[in-house]
Amino acid sequence: MLRFFAPIVLVFMTTVILVISVSAQSNTTVISWYSGGSSKLFLNPIPVDTSSSIAISGTTSQKTLIVTVAKTNGPTRSNPVPVDSHGAFNVRYLIKDGVGTYTVTFFSSEQNNAQSYQGLGFFTYTVKTTLPSNLRNLELNGKIIQYVDKVIGTTVGRGECWDLAQEALDQNLADWARPNSFGLILNNEKDDIKAGDIIQFRTLKITEHLPGGITKRETFGAPDHTAVVYRVIDKNRYSLAHQNVGGKRSVVKGDINLENVTSGKYWIYRPIALMIQQ
């Protein structure tokens, strides 16, 4: 039940020579390309609309495409952009860090699930309006469960527990930060936990006294374990979907009663969207 994660490492693999691509239209964004970048990535014109989201579409010859959005004197987010079998992509990226100037940089790799990426190009984008509240915390719980239903009984990634959450979040364009900030942190005593939420365990021990004098002991996390809430049975009682548990490397379901925790820690997260598929 070890957590196994692969953080995104952004590395410039080419000589850093900037080739400036000046837009022919004054109302579209200017792209600055790194050497060789324009041959691997085609971006459709990006309007200079100063809104709180960016329409990003085009094609790429690469297997993996990463977008990094960095606010000047603020946070940086790095996330994969879904690319179809023809190399096309079309998403709306939601700017959640408020008004200001952002640098949007694209990285890529010729491999799937790569550990390092080549810089392709970048542009700056000025945001003058904040993101509407209905988009800021757009929940993905239903989509997470739809993904889990597709992979029940199969092995996701390398069969590590963390791989299930990673694939479910990345395929649904979630707003999360590796390794284990899976979305909005919840308080299970105050917030309504839903199917599709994600639980991170840290050496959690549960002791349950069953009829007939039987004592059942379970440990979740050695030291860490990641699972998806598949169904809410009752308060603090859930059916989980997870893998690399009980010696099984495939996705299985099992119940847990957090009323019987004797030691250890756990955190529950609500998955929310960072990008919307167009």
Residues 9-136, CATH architecture:
Sandwich (2.60)
pTM assigned to the model: 0.86
In tens digits, the chain (278 residues) has pLDDT values of: 444 444 555 554 444 555 545 444 557 788 999 999 999 999 999 887 778 999 999 999 999 999 999 999 999 998 999 999 999 999 999 999 999 999 999 999 999 877 789 999 999 999 999 999 889 999 999 999 999 999 999 999 999 999 999 999 999 999 999 899 999 999 988 999 999 999 999 999 999 888 888 888 899 998 999 999 999 999 999 999 999 998 899 999 999 999 999 999 999 999 999 999 99
Burial class (CB in 10 A: 0-12, 13-18, 19+), 184: middle
CB-CB contact of 25 with 45 (8 Å): yes
Where are the domains positioned within the chain? Answer: 9-136, 141-277
CB-CB contact of 205 with 215 (8 Å): no
